[in-house]
Amino acid sequence: MNEVLGVIGTMLSLGTPLVIASAGETVSERAGVLNIGLEGVMLFAAYAAFWVSWKTGNPYLALGAATLVGAIALLATAPLVIHLGADQVVVGTGLNLLALGITGTLFVQAFGKTGRLVQVETVPTFAGDLGINVVMLVAVVLVVVAWWALFRTDWGRAVRAAGERPEAARAAGWSVFRLRLQAMAIAGLLGGLAGGYLSVAQTNSFAENMTAGRGFVVIAAVTFGRWHPFGAAGAALLIALSYGLQYLIKAYALPLPYQLFDALPYLLALAVLVGAGRAKSGPAALAIPYKEDR
């Protein structure tokens, strides 16, 4: 029983930031913007939250700061990818490198050349060993809101048009630039919250490159979840669950290759892709720059 609770606790703890960021990334990719820089956004935000919690001792303020920093970091690349039509993968990779360099440098500046293991205030948990916290509840709300916004509002229809056939959105009187900018802002805000969660809720510290590829995992979850907020959230939780199982296997030294559980979500993703066949594959205009008002 303890073990089942432990695995579920791990799934929720590791899954929450993935779920939150994937909701934002789903909106953004639906609008046609692929944010490879999500890893960097989360890392910037993780450092911001860590620093604010260290300075003020207030983890909620820290999460707020992280959310803001995430949006600023991602929107800083918006002029390049939206208005100048730069390659989104290249710009995103640049943002990731920048985040690693800047957060690493700030960390060294604040805590010394050889680093320091600092522990900061975190968001409190309840429900005992399960370790539920308020951000997990917020995550559920965010996923539902993302779904509602995308599929139950005019704005959502326009966003999806911007990612499928931007000319159509334009013809209907929407500014594709503005729609994509708004979608990126959402991806930045949620990516920021997810990054902040890493350093002041899931754990209580910062380490250089502590995101450890989670930004890429989020992008994979969005693809796996077929660009739907619920699908992406499910994929994110599945990935987190497979990590939880991995830790359990190691704790019991079971004669199972734990690497299998590392690969499990991706095997499932492949299965989904095969199953989906030639049915709709992602937004048609994903990662394709749009030239507005020629």
Partner 1 sequence: MKHATVTVGLVLGILAGVLGCTGGSQQQTASETQTDTAAKPVEGTFKVALITPTSVNDSGWSALAYRGLEAIQANLGAEIANVVASTPADIEDAMRSFAQQGFQLVIGHGYEYNQHGIKIGKEFPNTVFVSSSGDKTAPNVGAFRFYLEQATYLLGIMAAKMTKTGVVGMVGGPDVPSIESTFQAFEAGAKSVKPDITVLKAYTGSNDDIGAAKQQTLAFINRGADFIIHQANAAAPGVFEACRERKVWAFGTNSDQSSVAPDVVLASAVIRAENVFTDLARRVKEGTYRGAIELVGAQEGAVNVVFNPKLLDKIPKDVQDLLMQKFDEIMQGKLVVPKLEF
Q: Which of 23, 202, 232, 236 binds partner 1 (CB under 8 A)?
A: 202
HEC string for the chain: CHHHHHHHHHHHHHHHHHHHHHHHHHHHHHCCCCCCCHHHHHHHHHHHHHHHHHHHCCHHHHHHHHHHHHHHHHHCCHHHHHHCCCCHHHHHHHHHHHHHHHHHHHHHHHHCCCCCCCCCCCCCEECHHHCEEHHHHHHHHHHHHHHHHHHCCHHHHHHHHHHHCHHHHHHCCCCHHHHHHHHHHHHHHHHHHHHHHHHHHHCCCCCCCCCCCHHHHHHHHHHHCCCCHHHHHHHHHHHHHHHHHHHHHHHCCCCCCHHHHHHHHHHHHHHHHHHHCCCCCCCCCCCCCCCCCC
Q: Could you tell me the two tokens for 63?
A: 């999460």
Residue number with CB closer to partner 1 (155 or 266) = 266
Does the footprint of partner 1 cover residue 121 (CB under 8 A)? no
Does the footprint of partner 1 cover residue 22 (CB under 8 A)? no
Name which of 90, 19, 29 is nearest 223 in CA terms.
Answer: 29
Compute how many other C-beta atoms are within 10 angstroms of the C-beta atom of residue 250.
12
Does the footprint of partner 1 cover residue 39 (CB under 8 A)? yes
CB of residue 72 to partner 1, shortest distance in Å:
22
Does the footprint of partner 1 cover residue 36 (CB under 8 A)? yes
Q: Which of 75, 76, 118, 132 binds partner 1 (CB under 8 A)?
A: 118
Residue number with CB closer to partner 1 (68 or 130) = 130
Does the footprint of partner 1 cover residue 56 (CB under 8 A)? no
Tell me which stretch binds partner 1 (CB under 8 A): 77-85, 150-158, 229-237, 239-247. 239-247
Amino acid at residue number 224: F
Residue number with CB closer to partner 1 (107 or 174) = 107
Name which of 77, 93, 94, 95 is nearest 41 in CA terms.
Answer: 95
Does the footprint of partner 1 cover residue 282 (CB under 8 A)? no
Does the footprint of partner 1 cover residue 135 (CB under 8 A)? no
CB of residue 116 to partner 1, shortest distance in Å:
6
CB of residue 19 to partner 1, shortest distance in Å:
14
Binding mask 171-200 for partner 1 (x = CB under 8 A): ---------------------------xx-
Q: Which of 138, 207, 256, 272 binds partner 1 (CB under 8 A)?
A: 207
Does the footprint of partner 1 cover residue 237 (CB under 8 A)? no
Does the footprint of partner 1 cover residue 87 (CB under 8 A)? no
Q: Which residues contact partner 1 (rule: CB under 8 A)?
A: 2-3, 5-6, 9-10, 13-14, 36, 39, 93, 96-97, 100-101, 104-105, 107-108, 111-119, 122, 129, 131, 198-199, 202-210, 212-213, 216, 219-220, 243-244, 247-248, 250-253, 266
